[in-house]
Amino acid sequence: MNVNVTLIFGLENYKAVADAYLTGLDNWHCEDRPFAAATR
Amino acid sequence: MPALADLQNFGQSVWFDFIRRSLITSGELKALVAQGVRGVTSNPAIFEKAIAGSSDYDEEIKALAKTGPSVEAVYETLAIKDIQLAADELAPVYRSTGGRDGYVSLEVSPFLAADSGRTVAEAQRLFVTVGRPNLMIKIPATAESLPAITESIAAG
């Protein structure tokens, strides 16, 4: 699934969303799936 | 080279922040893509403006109303058809860029923004229902939706 995050206001929220995004990629990679397929 | 297309040389991708049935059926979106537009975004407010502010959907709404669906079901039917049509227009961009561009976005209902679990389920349902690889699902960045962002990305 391709995800677009909307309605981000404030630096703290940007950091929280970035952390959520990176954690999602980590979880994806932990299942032996290539980053390239998740970050096209 | 059109100015929009030239922006690609600077690593910029221009997305069109509007959608309406006649934009697609008239060939206007195709022309915009030819000029360099690389994606389309939508949201409920855009669809409200498109559906209530034009006659583009009148005949389809009349036909749908005969079966007695909910207002939400009518909205989703109209919106998903627009998203599918737009995604098909942008499919060549999606393919030629290896999936880096060429997306159309559709937003999960903001009524679910405080419920991460239902947001994830709705995101997956919409992705399957639209059935286009170049669909991008929008998730509102509420505190409650942060787990939904993580889970949806991890799901692939």
Residues listed for chain A: 40
In whole angstroms, what is the distance from residue A30 CA to residue A2 CA?
18
Of A8, A25, A40, which is closest to B141 when you measure between CB atoms? A8
Residues with pLDDT less than 70, chain B: none
Q: What is the mean pLDDT of chain B?
A: 94
Q: What's the whole-model pTM score? A: 0.90
Are the beta carbons of B150 and A2 separated by less than 8 Å? no
| Test mutation, B107, B137, B150, chain A, max A CBs within 10 A | B150
pLDDT computed for residue A7 by the predictor:
72
Q: Does B124 touch chain A (CB under 8 A)?
A: yes
In whole angstroms, what is the distance from residue B95 CA to residue B19 CA?
21
Q: Facing residues of A6 across strands?
A: B140
In whole angstroms, what is the distance from residue B146 CA to residue A19 CA?
9
Evaluate if residue A39 carries a pLDDT over 70.
no
Of A8, A21, A33, which is closest to B156 when you measure between CB atoms? A33
Q: Which residue of A has its CA nearest to B97?
A: A40
CB contact residues (below 8 A), chain B span 28-57, against chain A: 41, 43
pLDDT computed for residue A38 by the predictor:
56
Asked if A27 and A39 count as a contact pair (C-beta separation under 8 A), the reply is no
CB contact residues (below 8 A), chain B span 70-99, against chain A: 98-99
Q: Which residue of A has its CA nearest to B100?
A: A40
Provide the b/e sequence for A8-27 (b: ≥16 CB within 10 Å). Answer: eeeeebeebbeebbebbbeb
In whole angstroms, what is the distance from residue B13 CA to residue A35 CA?
22
Q: What is the pLDDT of residues B122-153, one digit of tens each?
A: 999 999 999 999 999 999 999 999 999 999 99
| Test mutation, B134, B149, B151, chain A, max A CBs within 10 A | B149
Provide the b/e sequence for B41-77 (b: ≥16 CB within 10 Å). Answer: bbbeebbeebbeeeebbeeeeeeeeeeeeeeeebbbe
Q: Which residue of A has its CA nearest to B98?
A: A40
Provide CB contacts within 8 A for B18, sequence distance 6+.
B40, B42, B46, B50
DSSP B144: G
CA B155 to chain centre: 20
Question: Which positions of B are annotated as active-site residues?
Answer: 138
pLDDT computed for residue A29 by the predictor:
82
Provide CB contacts within 8 A for B139, sequence distance 6+.
A3, A4, A5, A6, B107, B108, B119, B123, B145, B148, B149, B152
In whole angstroms, what is the distance from residue B47 CA to residue B147 CA?
27
